[in-house]
């Protein structure tokens, strides 16, 4: 039987990445997935989801005292999101670089937010900011295991010098 979804493979790092409702509405899902695939990360979880408020609040609980928190929760729950688990060496830090700075006007061109967004409250995508938060967020969004599958990426020897 497969391992529990909340347990990562030995030596593997995972990030929780999410296309926010604006990214779905704007038809950016395929482009975003392509950027992570071409970099060499492995897709280990994927589902479309209408986020209930309690999940959005749990996910962003560290921001609950911020003035924009109610608007943030409303934004995340305003339409379906695409929930993903991306796995690979250094994926948490690398995903943050691919995604770009929180405020899209400060994100470098070539990053996802730098290329596709202008507004902090409509910045298209989420990525975990630490290894610990990655595991925490995967536990929140993929608690049932639905949308995940075990698979062996056979391109590993062509991406990594040491397995």
Binding site for ATP: which residues?
20, 68, 96, 102, 113, 123
Min. distance of Cβ 75 from ligand GDP in angstroms? 7
Partner whose binding site includes residue 120, from Mg ion, ligand GDP, none (CB under 5 to 8 Å by kind): ligand GDP
Count of residues that interact with Mg ion, criterion CB under 5 A: 1
Min. distance of Cβ 91 from Mg ion in angstroms? 15
Q: What is the CA radius of gyration of the chain?
A: 15
Is 108 near ligand GDP (CB under 6 A)?
A: no
What's the CA gap between 21 and 117, in Å, rounded? Answer: 13
Q: Is 126 in the active site? A: yes
Contacts of 84 by beta carbon, 8 Å cutoff, 6+ apart: 16, 17, 18, 19, 33, 36, 43, 45, 46
Is 126 near ligand GDP (CB under 6 A)?
A: yes
As given in the structure block, the two tokens for residue 60 are 């962003």
* Residues paired with residue 87 on neighbouring β-strands, in sequence order: 14, 42
Return the active site residues: 126
For Mg ion, the binding residues (CB under 5 A) are 129
């Amino acid at each position: 039987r497969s391992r529990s979804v909340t347990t990562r493979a030995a030596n593997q790092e995972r990030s929780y990445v999410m296309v926010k409702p604006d990214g779905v509405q704007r038809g950016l899902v395929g482009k975003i997935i392509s950027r992570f695939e071409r970099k060499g990360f492995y897709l280990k979880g994927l589902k479309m989801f209408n986020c209930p408020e309690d999940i959005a609040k749990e996910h962003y609980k560290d921001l609950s005292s911020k003035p924009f928190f109610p608007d943030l929760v409303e934004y995340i729950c305003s339409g379906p999101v695409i929930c993903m688990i991306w796995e690979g060496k250094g994926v948490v830090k690398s995903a943050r670089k691919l995604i770009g700075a929180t405020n899209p006007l400060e994100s470098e061109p070539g990053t996802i937010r730098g290329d596709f967004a202008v507004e902090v409250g409509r910045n298209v995508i989420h990525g975990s900011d630490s290894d610990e938060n990655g595991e925490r967020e995967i536990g929140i969004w993929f608690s049932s295991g639905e949308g995940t599958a075990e698979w062996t990426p056979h391109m590993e020897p062509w991406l990594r010098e040491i397995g």
